[in-house]
Amino acid sequence: EAGVVQSPRYKIIEKKQPVAFWCNPISGHNTLYWYLQNLGQGPELLIRYENEEAVDDSQLPKDRFSAERLKGVDSTLKIQPAELGDSAVYLCASSPNWGDGEQYFGPGTRLTVT
């Protein structure tokens, strides 16, 4: 069974530029999560999708971040414009359903904003 796929793996951009990350969850997983992980910290939830509906985006900085999950499968997270403080690893995870506990993480996208 294929795991969670993310691309790109690495991205370097200048501040004020836009950037987008893509995630394809494990087949059949209804719940998709985007996390942000800073160095030396645990992942922090940005947004959770149940199928195509964003049901928890309370931690998403909506002035510059947006996300979508069309057709309830793969998802895109966008930052526009990027700031220096956005440099981090962006992780996508999926689980069969919300509250099932076990979340499976993709390899992440390491973003560097210069």
CB-nearer residue toward another protein: 81 or 107:
107
Tokens at residue 6, please? 């993310």
State in angstroms the smallest separation of the CB of 98 from another protein: 7
Tokens at residue 40, please? 């030396």
CB-nearer residue toward another protein: 13 or 104:
104
Torsion of CA 33, 37, 41, 47, to 10 degrees: -30
State in angstroms the smallest separation of the CB of 24 from another protein: 14
Phi first, then psi: give them for residue 67, nearest 5 degrees.
-145, 155
CB-nearer residue toward another protein: 3 or 18:
3
State in angstroms the smallest separation of the CB of 99 from another protein: 6
Binding site for another protein (CB under 8 A): 33, 40-45, 48, 56, 91, 98-99, 101-108
- Kindly list the distances between the CA atom of residue 71 and the CA atoms of 12, 42, 77, in Å, as whole numbers in the listed order: 29, 30, 15
